[in-house]
Amino acid sequence: MSKYVGQNVKRKEDYRLLTGTGIFVADIRLDNMAEAAILRSTYAHAKIKNIDISKAKEYEGVIDVVIASDLEGKVKPFTEFVEFTLPSNLEQEIKPTIKRNPEPMLAKDKVTFVGQAIAIVVANNRYLAEDAVALIKVEYEPLPVLTDPYEAKKEAAPVIHAELNNNIQSHFEVKVGNIESAFRQADYTIKTQLKTPRVSGNPLETRGVVAEYEERSSQLQVWSSTQVPYMVRSYISKLVNLVEDNIRVVAPDVGGGFGPKCAVYPEEIVIPYLAMKHKRPVKWIEDRLEHMQSTRHSRDQVHDVEVAFKSDGTILALKDHFLLDNGAHNSFALCCAYNSAAHLRGMYKIPNYNIVGEIVLTNKTPNVPYRGAGRPEAVFVMDRLIYMIADKLNVDPIEVSRKNFIQPEEMPYETDLFYRDGTHMVLENGDYPEGLKQALNIVGYEQFRQEQIEERTKGRYIGIGVSSYIEGTGIGPHEGAVVRVDSSGHILAYVGSSPHGQSHETTLSQICADEFGVSPDQVTVKAGDTSLLPYGVGTFASRGAVTAGSAVQVASKRLREKFLAIAGEMLEVAPNDLEMKEGKVYPKALPSKFVTLREIALAAKPGPRSKVPEGMEPGASVTHYFIPPSVTFSSGFHVAIVEVDKQTGFVTILKYVVIHDCGRVLNPMVVDGQIQGGVAQGIGGALYEEIIYDENGQLVTGTYMDYLIPTAMEVPVVEMGHQEFLSPRNPIGVKGVGEGGAICPPASIANAVCDAMKPLNIKINSVPISPNRLRDLIQLAEAQ
């Protein structure tokens, strides 16, 4: 009975966002509010010999200046994020080495990356706070700087954190089949190195925290631009030692997260502490310079990979040893690294597989999962290999793909691996050969190949590149929903998953509305507030629709059943003989004899007028926590057509096509928007974005003049097609879609560029493909 699910319902969020009436953290202004600014390290690796804050403290308008020693006994240091630790069966299976490596709130005896917070100034306004920051004198004693993970892992390398003994923070290995014998049977092998650089998620809204403490009732109110308000609440409670229920964390309108806002940062703990200390609201809004330095980065993997295959293109085995350059701290256990290992084979049957992952610490900003979280890196490796195999065998790359696809009749497909949530990694359904066929039909693959030959004779270099992905989405552990009808008859759905652009208010109201037979306008969705439900997780890892969507569906269904039971009492009709539609409940046989949702809600109240059937709790509300049995596997194909200017090395994207399967599409417009946005970020990774440090660990790409993000002018409109294999792993049949668009573009575009330059046999082993780099490759190839 889906009337609204599957429809292009207009986004409820858009009116306020488009009229400038949204409220972001920076929009929150409170009486007597102070503002904070932060002194950050200008050294990548140095001892702190002395910090002189005397001048800053005396500066007019300054309320407080705190350094690490001021927090001792007041704010505990971070522990590692338990939310990311491995389930015990996965730990037993892969027996990883993971050293504890939590971040300090403020650097104390040493700094380990440029941008690390050292001191916080609280002043009457941000201008004065920044003036005072400039007055703090830090005496540094420089230490040797590590920016190359290969150097950092050497035995003789200086150790960044003495307690870890070396800079290899984590190590794990995953094995499937028999790699040695498979390599012996191979006709060919290819050995290569493939790199995905360090990038920054760059949400339009930077981080920001406002905290206000109300002493009368010990209530701490925190607004934070976060993806995970419950996690922020939990760590404030733990580290500042407060009763958890006295803390309310709200994520108001949040201008993007993409992963970098999916864990807790020092500022989210210390700013609330300072608000309590001074009994004054304190605001800290990260500026873009701080954002580039101190909001966690991502990707940064180097894979040394070897593939064994037969002359007909069948891949027999793949072995990979990769490094993840994690920067100075890792609080996320194996998150991205294990994702890369689990997803590297993608939709290909590779029976023998061996991958070793090492997370290495360097003097750079710490890493975090970012849209795709380990999959773009893995896909870049796998899909570049497919093209290299095709080159070696002199066949079209899509023939190699087709040869190795997992077939629809093999579904559900056991990968012989554990997933990160500790369950067996089994792909539930899908038809990959058909997906590729759809994508190639949209671009007119055969026709393009003809055109390509003709254009080459005219000196025009165009190429086509394909890439594919599977993605475990909708990870647990849970997400809850409270669905209730208030005394005015309006339906409310509260969820713990906190949105930052995903359209929760729209899509979740569609799900709820369909259960009650009303319009989505009669449902209000609230999220991003820890006072709504006791437990919540957050929005990341393409999990919103799967987890919160399912919770809303189940809670709505149960409340509907309860309302039918109450209506049955009111109308003296058996619930099975009742119909619920357009806010009314009536006997199927006699629609004119109805009660409204409002009347039922009033009858659900406890007391003498209650019509709640005996044995049923009073109240017009149902809470449900959805616990996914495992992740659901989305999949997709990206096809890029590009033109290369051979003289300048500039790449133009002529066409971009995506076919994807995210299970049931709740709202096509929202899904298309997610894919379009993801592709934009993926194009950034393919052609523009790279965080660069110099040999002293100084961030070279600290502003938007240096760190290039594609704009609307650089991003083509993506042509899309859908496959809709409903997931059996949740009641609404959805799979996650938030990250998918960002996963393939580095691979599809690199493949397309190589395809365009086929006459020169250019190999692209790293991104971004800047015009300078591509032109150098072209020149080198021409010289040979």
Q: Does 338 bind another protein (CB under 8 A)?
A: no
- Beta carbon nearer to another protein, 357 or 710: 710
Shorter beta-carbon distance to another protein: residue 241 or 648: 648
Cα dihedral: 338, 343, 344, 348 (round 10): 150
Q: What residues between 157 and 186 interact with another protein by CB under 8 A?
A: none
Q: How far is the CB of 277 from another protein (least distance, A)?
A: 24
- Residue 169 contacts by C-beta under 8 Å, 6 or more apart in sequence? 98, 99, 101, 326, 330, 359, 360, 361
Look-up of token digits 């709740």: 666
DSSP-H helix ranges across 494-622:
504-516, 550-571, 597-603
CB of 127 to another protein, least distance (A): 5
CB of 130 to another protein, least distance (A): 5
Site string for another protein, 224-253 (x = CB under 8 A): ------------------------------
Residue with tokens 């975090």: 368
- Of these, 238, 288, 402, 526, which contacts another protein (CB under 8 A)? 288
Give the shortest CB-737-to-another protein separation in angstroms. Answer: 27
Neighbouring CB atoms inside 10 A of 654's CB total: 14
Is residue 289 a contact point for another protein (CB under 8 A)? yes
Which region among 257-265, 543-551, 584-592, 644-652 touches another protein (by CB under 8 A)? 644-652
Instruction: DSSP letter for 104, please.
Output: P
Minimum CB distance to another protein, residue 770 (Å) = 7
Cβ-proximal residues to 409 (8 Å cutoff; 6+ apart), any chain: none
Question: Binder to another protein among 441, 711, 759, 761 (CB under 8 A)?
Answer: 711
Nearer to another protein, 128 or 513 (CB): 128
Tokens standing for residue 220 = 């701490």
Return the sign of the alpha-carbon dihedral for residues 486, 490, 491, 496. negative
* Part of the chain binding another protein (CB under 8 A), chosen from 26-34, 493-501, 524-532, 708-716: 708-716
In the complex, the smallest distance separating the C-beta of residue 675 from another protein, rounded to whole angstroms, is 22
Stretch in the footprint of another protein (CB under 8 A) among 147-155, 341-349, 710-718, 720-728: 710-718
Q: How far is the CB of 710 from another protein (least distance, A)?
A: 7
Question: Which position among 139, 245, 446, 776 is part of the footprint of another protein (CB under 8 A)?
Answer: 776
- Of the two residues 454 and 694, which places its CB atom closer to another protein in the complex? 694
For residue 380, the minimal CB distance to another protein (Å) is 21
Q: Which of residues 118-137 bind another protein (CB under 8 A)?
A: 126-127, 130-131, 134
Helix (H) or strand (E) holding 750: helix 745-756
Give me 504's structure tokens: 């929760």
Instruction: With beta carbons less than 8 A apart as the criterion, state whether 301 and 323 touch.
Output: yes
Question: Which single residue is written with the structure tokens 């997933």?
Answer: 419
559 and 621 Cβ atoms separated by less than 8 Å: yes
Segment interacting with another protein (CB under 8 A) among 520-528, 577-585, 626-634, 765-773 = 765-773
**Residue 599 near another protein by CB under 8 A:** no
- DSSP result, 672-709: HHHHHHHHHHHHIIIII----B-TT--BS--STTTS--
Nearer to another protein, 37 or 439 (CB): 37
| CB 760, min distance to another protein, A | 17
We find the least distance from the C-beta atom of residue 694 to another protein, in angstroms, to be: 10
Task: Report the site for another protein in 258-287 (rule: CB under 8 A).
Answer: 287
648 binds another protein per the rule CB under 8 A:
yes
| Closer to another protein by Cβ: residue 551 or 762 | 762
Tell me whether residue 702 or residue 746 sits nearer to another protein (CB atom): 702
Exposure of 745 in the CB half-sphere (CA atoms within 13 A):
32
DSSP tag of 607: S
Distances (CA, A) of 294 to 120, 269, 635, 679: 14, 15, 33, 25
Q: Is 772 in the site for another protein (CB under 8 A)?
A: yes
CB of 692 to another protein, least distance (A): 6
Please state the closest distance from residue 712 (CB atom) to another protein, in A.
9
Least Cβ distance, residue 385 to another protein (angstroms): 29
| CA dist., res. 56 & res. 137, Å (int) | 9
Among 156, 162, 453, 713, binds another protein (CB under 8 A): 713
Give the contacts of 638 (CB within 8 A, at least 6 positions apart): 439, 466, 467, 468, 469, 656, 657, 658, 679, 682, 744, 745, 747, 748
Q: Which is nearer to another protein, 286 or 755 (CB)?
A: 286
Span near another protein by CB under 8 A; candidates 483-491, 500-508, 724-732, 768-776: 768-776
CA 416 to CA 413: how far, in whole Å? Answer: 9
CB of 714 to another protein, least distance (A): 6
The pair phi, psi for residue 403, each rounded to 5°, is -60, -30
Helices (H), 504-650: 504-516, 550-571, 597-603
Based on CB atoms, which residue is closest to another protein, 130 or 719? 130
**Closest to another protein by CB, 292 or 427:** 292
Site for another protein in 490-519 (CB under 8 A): none
How far apart CA 520 and CA 524 sit, in angstroms, is 8
Distance, C-alpha 504 to centroid of its chain:
16
Of residues 675-704, those binding another protein (CB under 8 A) = 688, 690, 692, 700-701, 703
Q: Are 140 and 48 in contact (CB under 8 A)?
A: yes
Q: Name residues contacting another protein, limited to 55-84 (CB under 8 A).
A: none
Report the nearest approach of another protein to the CB of residue 287 (Å).
4
Residue count, binding to another protein (CB under 8 A): 29
Q: Torsion angle of alpha carbons 212, 218, 224, 229, nearest 10°? A: -170
Separation in Å, CA 611 to CA 211, 552, 566, 586: 44, 25, 6, 16
Looking at 87, 189, 775, 781, which residue binds another protein (CB under 8 A)?
775
Label the pairing between strands 719-723 and 651-661: parallel
Q: How far is the CB of 133 from another protein (least distance, A)?
A: 10
Tokens at 782, concatenated: 């021409």
**Site residues, another protein (CB under 8 A):** 126-127, 130-131, 134, 287-289, 647-648, 650, 688, 690, 692, 700-701, 703, 705-706, 708, 710-711, 713-714, 770-772, 775-776
